């Protein structure tokens, strides 16, 4: 496979000679109408019918008991970790192969990450690697799981469904149960992805979704906490909306809350985008299939959904045969106006997370050196 033939292939798909971005939003539905309606109503800010509507849409779509809209995905994750009981000084297990927001959110809780490897099947947190780390370094005591050397609690695990491919959740839940560790899913990239028929982000007590501009659907900026029960949902709503106790006019707040509410203006965009989500998913599946056949007889390996899952194919990904081949492909495609990107640098290479405990990261390092993301915007594909 020559870089030039990939450029030609992508240009043929998108039918343009212009710059082709990695993932661009499209607004061909009710977006203008709902946003206009919001402006005319003057309810552009923290209350309004679209916030409630959007939360209900997400509940119906994901099958979660209660969804709580937030200002962005990082805020959703922060609130989820707060609700899961993460405390200052705790450890939270996650993957080194993730976007920095995963680690920032737990850092803001005063917790520190422990990095374990990812699975080559899902590109997300590997349950076996987690179990191995725990077996070597941790023990379960009455209060829960502790890291033996520091005696600090290992409170939660945050797997991330990389590019929309669900992690091995049955196995992960078994490890969580064995070690008494809470599961909080970073489902920022996986709206529309299902594990054995159940939506990602609904397996632990809490999951977090993002509606940033580059995600599968967008609210400009926005996020959602998926909560396992009505009760947990009500508390999550309370703490993300300044913890105000309802009263016709009195201001009384019963704890130090967050102002993480999503503005009604953004929720209006979200309601319109939910109407086209299924269409985007279908288009992205066709696109992924075309990439898959394009690379079939080459030494480049297109990343396909795990057999247990239905992925949203948010960002298409390719494993190159060597780091040199990857660098060459990155350069040639970007020079030709076709946007491709390497994966994030591993979290333990960043200054703020360089000294945290970690397990063997062989898979993560391999993927870091060999993977590139390909243009993935949903497109109308007639061919
Ligand atoms: C996008 C993303 C987030 C955060 O979302 P924002 O809405 O940008 O705050 C968190 N984790 C991962 C893995 C993401 O890709």
302: which 2 tokens? Answer: 């297109």
Give CA–CA dist 154/93, Å, rounded.
7
Query: What letters, b where the CB count within 10 A reaches 16 and e where it falls short, cover 46-71?
Result: eebebbebbbebbbeebebebbbbbb
Going from the Cα of 136 to the center of ligand 1, the distance in angstroms, rounded, reads 31
With a 6 Å cutoff on the Cβ, whether 99 touches ligand 1 is yes
Q: 10-22: per-residue pLDDT in tens?
A: 999 999 999 999 9
Cβ atoms of residues 156 and 184 within 8 Å: yes
Q: Which of 22, 25, 212 to mutate to test the pocket of ligand 1 (most atoms within 8 A of CB)?
A: 212
With a 6 Å cutoff on the Cβ, whether 102 touches ligand 1 is yes
Architecture in CATH of 3-26+277-382: Alpha-Beta Complex (3.90)
Going from the Cα of 232 to the center of ligand 1, the distance in angstroms, rounded, reads 22
Q: 340-352: per-residue pLDDT in tens?
A: 999 999 999 999 9
The closest-lying atom of ligand 1 relative to the alpha carbon of residue 210 is: 7
Per-residue pLDDT of the chain in tens (383 residues, 90 and over written 9): 788 899 999 999 999 999 999 999 999 999 999 999 999 999 999 889 999 999 999 999 999 999 999 999 999 999 999 999 999 999 999 999 999 999 999 999 999 999 999 999 999 999 999 999 999 999 999 999 999 999 999 999 999 999 999 999 999 999 999 999 999 999 999 999 999 999 999 999 999 999 999 999 999 999 999 999 999 999 999 999 999 999 999 999 999 999 999 999 999 999 999 999 999 999 999 999 999 999 999 999 999 999 999 999 999 999 999 999 999 999 999 999 999 999 999 999 999 999 999 999 999 999 999 999 999 999 875 54
The closest-lying atom of ligand 1 relative to the alpha carbon of residue 189 is: 15
Going from the Cα of 93 to the center of ligand 1, the distance in angstroms, rounded, reads 17
Q: Which of 69, 98, 184, 189 to mutate to test the pocket of ligand 1 (most atoms within 8 A of CB)?
A: 189
The closest-lying atom of ligand 1 relative to the alpha carbon of residue 223 is: 7
Give CA–CA dist 215/195, Å, rounded.
19
The closest-lying atom of ligand 1 relative to the alpha carbon of residue 222 is: 7
Going from the Cα of 12 to the center of ligand 1, the distance in angstroms, rounded, reads 30
Q: Which of 98, 102, 213, 214 to mutate to test the pocket of ligand 1 (most atoms within 8 A of CB)?
A: 102
Complete edge-to-edge strand list for the sheet that includes strand 194-195: 198-199, 194-195, 309-310
Give CA–CA dist 78/206, Å, rounded.
11
Cβ atoms of residues 257 and 240 within 8 Å: yes
Going from the Cα of 188 to the center of ligand 1, the distance in angstroms, rounded, reads 5
Give CA–CA dist 356/281, Å, rounded.
37
Residues 6+ apart with CB under 8 A from 323: 369, 370
Residues 6+ apart with CB under 8 A from 335: none
With a 6 Å cutoff on the Cβ, whether 333 touches ligand 1 is no
The closest-lying atom of ligand 1 relative to the alpha carbon of residue 76 is: 9
Nearest to 163 by CA among 197, 184, 187: 187
Going from the Cα of 323 to the center of ligand 1, the distance in angstroms, rounded, reads 26
Please indicate, yes or no, whether the overall pTM of this predicted structure exceeds 0.95.
yes
Going from the Cα of 382 to the center of ligand 1, the distance in angstroms, rounded, reads 32
With a 6 Å cutoff on the Cβ, whether 210 touches ligand 1 is yes
192: left (phi over 0), alpha (psi -120 to 50) or beta: left
Going from the Cα of 160 to the center of ligand 1, the distance in angstroms, rounded, reads 10
Going from the Cα of 190 to the center of ligand 1, the distance in angstroms, rounded, reads 10
278: which 2 tokens? Answer: 């299924």
Which residue has a Cα nearest atom 10 of ligand 1?
101
Nearest to 371 by CA among 165, 116, 213, 127: 165
Domain extents in the chain: 3-26+277-382, 31-274
Give CA–CA dist 372/190, Å, rounded.
18
Query: Which helix (H) or strand (E) covers residue 261, if one does?
Result: none
The CATH code of domain 31-274 reads: 3.40.640.10
Backbone angles phi, psi at 153, to 5 degrees: -65, 140
């Amino acid at each position: 496979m020559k870089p030039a033939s990939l450029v030609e292939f992508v240009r043929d798909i998108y039918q343009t000679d212009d710059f082709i971005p990695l993932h661009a939003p499209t607004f061909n539905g009710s977006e203008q109408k709902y946003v206009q309606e919001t402006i005319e109503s003057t309810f552009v800010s923290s209350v309004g019918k679209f916030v409630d509507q959007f939360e209900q849409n997400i509940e119906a779509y994901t099958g979660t008991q209660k969804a709580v809209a937030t200002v962005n995905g990082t805020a959703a994750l922060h609130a989820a970790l707060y609700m899961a009981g993460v405390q200052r000084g705790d450890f939270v297990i996650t993957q080194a192969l993730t976007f920095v927001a995963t680690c920032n959110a737990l850092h803001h809780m005063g917790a520190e990450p422990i990095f374990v490897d990812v699975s080559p099947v899902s590109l997300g947190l590997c349950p076996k690697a987690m179990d191995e780390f725990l077996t070597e370094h941790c023990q379960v005591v009455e209060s829960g799981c502790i890291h033996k050397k520091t005696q600090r609690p290992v409170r939660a695990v945050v797997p991330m469904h990389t590019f929309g491919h669900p992690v091995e959740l049955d196995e992960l839940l078994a490890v969580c149960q064995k070690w008494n560790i809470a599961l909080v899913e970073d489902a920022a990239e996986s709206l529309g992805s299902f594990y054995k028929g159940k939506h990602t982000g609904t397996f632990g007590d809490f999951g977090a979704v993002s509606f940033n501009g580059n995600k599968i659907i967008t609210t400009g900026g926005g996020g959602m906490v998926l909560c396992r029960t009505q009760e947990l949902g009500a508390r999550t709503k309370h703490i993300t909306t300044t913890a105000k106790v309802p009263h016709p006019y009195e201001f009384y707040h019963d704890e130090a809350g967050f102002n993480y509410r999503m503005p009604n203006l953004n929720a209006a965009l979200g309601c319109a985008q939910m109407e086209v989500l299924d269409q985007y998913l279908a288009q992205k599946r066709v696109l992924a299939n075309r990439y898959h056949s394009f690379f079939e007889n080459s030494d480049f390996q297109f990343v396909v959904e795990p057999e247990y899952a239905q992925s949203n194919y948010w960002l298409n990904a390719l494993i190159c045969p060597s780091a040199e081949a990857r660098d060459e492909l990155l350069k040639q495609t970007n020079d030709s106006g076709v946007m491709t990107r390497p994966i994030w640098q591993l979290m333990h290479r960043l200054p703020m997370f360089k000294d945290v405990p970690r397990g063997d990261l062989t898979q993560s390092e391999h993927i870091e050196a060999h993977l590139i993301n390909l243009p993935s915007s949903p497109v109308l594909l007639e061919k």
